[in-house]
Homo-oligomer: A and B are copies of this chain.
């Protein structure tokens, strides 16, 4: 586990740089036994908190370089990285490092937003809304293997998801997750991915409804519940997860740490998925 205290890629409300400190603090409530999978997470996995990756908080190039270098090194040492952002722009250097090792990945992106934006929108090409466009453009994601779960809300234009559709990627709105249930959605995702393809899980906490995750910078009402969010991660057991992140937790906007607790539990579910890898 690594923290990336960076929020310089935020378009609306910053503060996600503080998330690693708070998620660690509330992780005191986690325990080891997973009653659904029937495993003992912290016995089956050797988990290490590797602290935060260090860089000047104002410098996006330095952030990307530091994160990519660190993940490459861990990956070379056969360590599975679990990263706490920071905003979603921290995901790009992780994907670069992991794709270098594993080739094009399957990516499960749980998110309210597409994050496929172009440079024109904000007059800048690298921020939290362009991550997956870069990842697709750079060939980090295998065709048809981007799973965008939890989408909703207004978009800039009809063509916002054109790139993803052109590559055959898969999208499930928050409404559909509610209607069909996370178990069926995950069964479908698992089937499309298969047991062996390397999978990266990028969980943007704004996929979750602001009621359950008020502490985030670009909230969109109408999201999935915490119960659905946990089930979505849990439902990836049986795939070959080779890394993941939980991003966009913004503590200054949180209340009673409920977003931080949710992030810690999502991390625990993801660790459990990793622990079940065959």
Contact = CB atoms under 8 A, between A and B. Distances in A.
Interface of A: 7-15, 17-18, 21, 25, 28-35, 38, 40-41, 55-60, 62, 122-124, 126-127, 151, 153-158, 160-161, 173-175, 178-179, 181, 209-212, 214-215, 218-223, 225-227, 229-231, 252-258, 261-262, 265, 268
Contact of A33 (B11, B55, B160): B160
For this chain, the copies found in one complex come to 6
A14 B14 contact: yes
A18 B11 contact: no
A14 B11 contact: no
Contact of A122 (B58, B160, B220, B222): B58
A32 B157 CA distance: 7
A252 B58 CA distance: 20
A57 B11 contact: yes
A25 B181 CA distance: 34
Contact of A32 (B31, B156, B175): B156
B155 A221 contact: no
15 contacts: A8-B8, A10-B14, A31-B154, A32-B156, A35-B155, A59-B124, A179-B181, A209-B212, A210-B258, A214-B258, A215-B256, A221-B262, A222-B225, A225-B225, A254-B256
- 6 closest A-B pairs by beta carbon, nearest first, are A14-B14, A31-B154, A56-B123, A210-B258, A252-B252, A211-B211
A158 B124 contact: no
A187 B111 CA distance: 29
